[in-house]
A and B are shown apart, each in its own frame.
Chain A
Amino acid sequence: MTSAIELHNVSKSFGETKAVRNLNLEIPQGSMCGFLGPNGAGKSTSIRMIMSIIHPDSGSIQVLGKSAINSKDRIGYLPEERGVYRKMKVSKFIEYIGNLKGLRGVSLRRKVNTWLDRVELPDVHSKKCEELSKGMQQKVQFLAAIIHDPELIILDEPFSGLDPVNARVIGSIIHDLHQEGRTILFSTHVLHQAEQICDRIVMIDQGTKVLDGSLISIQDKFNPRSVVIEPVDTDCSIDLFEGVEYISPINKQNQINLRVNKNTNPVDVLQKIVSTVPVFSAQLARPTLDEIFIEQIAMSRGSEAADAARLELHHA
């Protein structure tokens, strides 16, 4: 599979701050890739370099088989910092961005109206951007990013500031665009969003790539060695038995987590618990991206940094 984005040993510093360090990255064409990391990890700087808005200090970048600057018209980009011309009419703003991407004429105008209908903004084309709510403006910006049918779509925090209904509308369009074969790079620090829609994950921290692969392979790699059961009797008590080092109290979802020690196969523990305790369900736990991320931070920067990251994820 050919790559939509290739970064080789890319570094970028701002004064004394090293924002990106020797980043190597390959995003396959047609993938829906989550570009994850905490705030200040270097995600936006990397994306800006991919968009050739800023240039790397060293390393090389290829986008859609060409240098980044020569592929601009084939990329759709929704930046983290949202912006519109406040006094410009909605349709004129999208048309202007379309013009800058090389689109012209009646077909562009028709396309703008079609897309405004699709994002459930049918009556705003002649309104000024400043008259729209923040969520509506965000949908307009999203349209400006995709109006030229780009092959590669880069979305930096596309759901921030959107209510659940509008997030679902945008999410469904992103899904459709992916189904049509477009490559989507989706940057966020809200990891569970990426977990829901991405088939591939790249995680960076302090400007360095810490994870890269398909979601399943990453989850396998970070197997938490846990068994999750939902007992029939919520008042039941389970004693520690061989191979289990910790049993959690029952949570709000009526689930109990059994952590398996290093020398025991979790499948054996699963079989044993099902045979001894009546349960509605029992399964081997899969790690969430949040957990993987925190574990990764703990490995690279220690437990204090991991606690800070946990707090940040909690707020996100």
Chain B
Amino acid sequence: MRKTLTVAWREFRHTAMTKAFLFGAIVMPILMMGLFIVVAPLLADSNDTPLTGTIIVVAPDDVTKKIQEQITKTPDTLLKITDQLPTSFQTELITSAMKPPTATVDLTIVSASENELETLKNEIRNGTYNGLIVVPESLLENQESEERLEVFIPSNFSPNHTELLTAATSRSVVDVRLQRLGHQPDDIYALVQRPRITATRLSEDGREAKDNEIARRIIPMAFMMLLWIATFTSGNYLLTTTIEEKGNKVMEVLLSAISPMQLLGGKILGQAGVSAVILGMYGSAAFAGLLTFALLDIIPIWHLLLFGFFFIIAYFMVATIMAAVGSAVSELRDAQSLMGPIMLILIIPMVLWPVLAEHPNGIIATVTSFTPPLLPFIMILRITSSTEPVAIWQILLSMGISIGSVLLMVWMCSRIFRIGILMQGKPPSILQLVKWIRQG
């Protein structure tokens, strides 16, 4: 066991203590965490620079007056973007972060004639005025008019201030249209305001569960991606280090000191450590995100426990495949031809996740969640996406199949590994690998 651990430690150090790994797996998640913890609250609290000066308006009088009113209102009355978000997103931090900045506005609105347009544009260029708004009369009378609202601003005008002007102007045009037809704009807006909806799933045993869009779509995808990134990143490292050892011809030196099984065990164990670091770092970034947006309660603890179990299963499945392929070939490009068909199968959860997340108890999801090596990825997707829990017997059966599959895959991999690591030259075909398993 000591020799296996020596190999494992070397494998871990060789992979995890490199600049590329430290940046990809440690620095990136820390930056993400920093983004959630520091930058998001800062964005939420940020105010834009004050908007002051003079805006010239070329428009009918009632529109000019309306623009004066709208422009001094707070932006959240202009754009209720956050009301259109799913309920789960409507936490204080998210909504405040997504609202347009609340700039202090101290503008003087001056009316002007259409004949002075060119002169006024020059005045904007030389900084006398901050903007020019042109509203053709036809826009008020005919909604299908091909004429456009025009806003002229200096080249260094802030995008937020531009948005403020354009939003206030277009809203003013709509308000005036309504008023000219004898309606009260605020009443109309109140009428067309979409009500908030809560969908509740009623189960046969009497329980009620809120249909949470994040729980249904984003969380399962995040869990599966986390599993995928953690296992495939370290699996790829395992593939490349094995090929590297074959390429450096150091394999026989190692085998003079340890058995092929000790070498395989050490390599898989070492990369498991790498995988755990990746999982830990990206998991922490996700945790920081959920904590920041007060969404932590949407993930039950038993989901995390099952995720831990299926992470181990997924890692061993991917690692055994990568170790077997790495031992069978002499160069990385040879590995691609063997990995092609394997990746076509393993990519299925990534391609089908929207469908599987939408129908977590459907026949495709159920069958694939019992099929190695897709099993851990699909099962975690099902477990975390289903507001109606997956049947316990299905989870237990899946766990049983996964343990059996891992044992079988480790056995098959060890037989390929034992023969493959001393082979040089032409890479074997899939059929030859099967032959090695029988011979090994």
A: which residues have CB within 8 A of B? 48, 51-54, 69, 72-73, 75-77, 79, 81-86, 96-97, 99-102, 141, 144-145
User: Contacting A53 at CB < 8 Å: which of B249, B250, B252?
Assistant: B252
The residue in chain A whose Cβ has the minimal distance to the Cβ of B246 is A83
The residue in chain A whose Cβ has the minimal distance to the Cβ of B5 is A99
**In whole angstroms, how far apart are the Cα atoms of A69 and B257 in the complex?**
9
Interface-centre pick from A97, A99, A141 (highest chain B CB count, 10 A): A99
Judge whether B109 is part of the interface by a CB distance below 8 angstroms: no
The residue in chain A whose Cβ has the minimal distance to the Cβ of B241 is A85
Known: A53-B256, A72-B256. A84 touches B250 (CB 8 A): yes
**In whole angstroms, how far apart are the Cα atoms of A216 and B311 in the complex?**
65
Mask, B203-214, CB within 8 Å of A = 1, is: 000000000000
Q: Is the CB of B252 within 8 A of A100?
A: no
Contacts of B256 in A (CB 8 A): 51, 53, 72, 75-77, 79, 145
Q: Is the CB of A101 within 8 A of B252?
A: no
**In whole angstroms, how far apart are the Cα atoms of A263 and B291 in the complex?**
103
**In whole angstroms, how far apart are the Cα atoms of A81 and B255 in the complex?**
12
**How near does chain B come to A19, taking the closest CB pair, in angstroms?**
12
Contacts of A81 in B (CB 8 A): 249, 252
**How near does chain B come to A266, taking the closest CB pair, in angstroms?**
46
**How near does chain B come to A46, taking the closest CB pair, in angstroms?**
14
Q: Is the CB of B249 within 8 A of A100?
A: no
User: Contacting B252 at CB < 8 Å: which of A52, A75, A79, A86?
Assistant: A79
The residue in chain B whose Cβ has the minimal distance to the Cβ of A76 is B256
**How near does chain B come to A131, taking the closest CB pair, in angstroms?**
14
Judge whether B258 is part of the interface by a CB distance below 8 angstroms: yes
Judge whether B3 is part of the interface by a CB distance below 8 angstroms: yes
**Can you list 30 A-B contacts (CB < 8 A)?**
A48-B422, A51-B255, A52-B259, A53-B256, A69-B259, A72-B259, A73-B257, A76-B256, A77-B253, A79-B253, A79-B256, A81-B252, A83-B248, A83-B249, A83-B250, A83-B251, A83-B253, A84-B250, A84-B253, A85-B248, A96-B6, A96-B10, A97-B253, A97-B254, A99-B6, A100-B3, A100-B7, A100-B258, A101-B257, A102-B2
Is chain B's binding surface mostly helix, strand, loop or mixed? helix
Contacts of B249 in A (CB 8 A): 81-83
**How near does chain B come to A183, taking the closest CB pair, in angstroms?**
16
Contacts of B258 in A (CB 8 A): 72, 100
**In whole angstroms, how far apart are the Cα atoms of A198 and B276 in the complex?**
53
**In whole angstroms, how far apart are the Cα atoms of A51 and B245 in the complex?**
19
Contacts of B255 in A (CB 8 A): 51, 53
**How near does chain A come to B93, taking the closest CB pair, in angstroms?**
46
Interface-centre pick from B253, B258, B422 (highest chain A CB count, 10 A): B253
**How near does chain A come to B239, taking the closest CB pair, in angstroms?**
17
Contacts of A145 in B (CB 8 A): 253, 256
**In whole angstroms, how far apart are the Cα atoms of A54 and B254 in the complex?**
13
**How near does chain A come to B21, taking the closest CB pair, in angstroms?**
14
**In whole angstroms, how far apart are the Cα atoms of A100 and B1 in the complex?**
11
A sample of 12 more A-B contacts (CB under 8 A), given A79-B253, A85-B250, A141-B253, is A53-B252, A53-B255, A73-B257, A77-B253, A77-B256, A83-B249, A83-B253, A84-B253, A85-B245, A97-B257, A100-B258, A145-B256
**How near does chain A come to B346, taking the closest CB pair, in angstroms?**
30
Q: Is the CB of A53 within 8 A of B422?
A: yes
Contacts of A51 in B (CB 8 A): 255-256
Contacts of A144 in B (CB 8 A): 253
**In whole angstroms, how far apart are the Cα atoms of A77 and B252 in the complex?**
9
**In whole angstroms, how far apart are the Cα atoms of A100 and B74 in the complex?**
71
Q: Is the CB of B254 within 8 A of A100?
A: yes
Contacts of B250 in A (CB 8 A): 83-85
Contacts of A97 in B (CB 8 A): 253-254, 257
**How near does chain A come to B328, taking the closest CB pair, in angstroms?**
15
**How near does chain A come to B335, taking the closest CB pair, in angstroms?**
19
Contacts of A99 in B (CB 8 A): 6
**In whole angstroms, how far apart are the Cα atoms of A252 and B112 in the complex?**
117
Q: Is the CB of B257 within 8 A of A72?
A: yes
Known: A54-B422, A96-B10. A83 touches B252 (CB 8 A): yes
Q: Is the CB of A100 within 8 A of B6?
A: yes
The residue in chain B whose Cβ has the minimal distance to the Cβ of A93 is B250
Contacts of B259 in A (CB 8 A): 52, 69, 72
**In whole angstroms, how far apart are the Cα atoms of A54 and B255 in the complex?**
10
The residue in chain B whose Cβ has the minimal distance to the Cβ of A77 is B256
Contacts of B7 in A (CB 8 A): 100
**How near does chain A come to B402, taking the closest CB pair, in angstroms?**
31
Contacts of A79 in B (CB 8 A): 252-253, 256
The residue in chain B whose Cβ has the minimal distance to the Cβ of A100 is B257
Interface-centre pick from B245, B248, B252, B255 (highest chain A CB count, 10 A): B252
Contacts of B10 in A (CB 8 A): 96
The 4 closest A-B pairs by CB, nearest first: A83-B249, A83-B250, A77-B256, A100-B257
Q: Is the CB of A86 within 8 A of B248?
A: yes
The residue in chain B whose Cβ has the minimal distance to the Cβ of A92 is B10
Contacts of A72 in B (CB 8 A): 256-259
Interface-centre pick from A48, A72, A84, A144 (highest chain B CB count, 10 A): A72
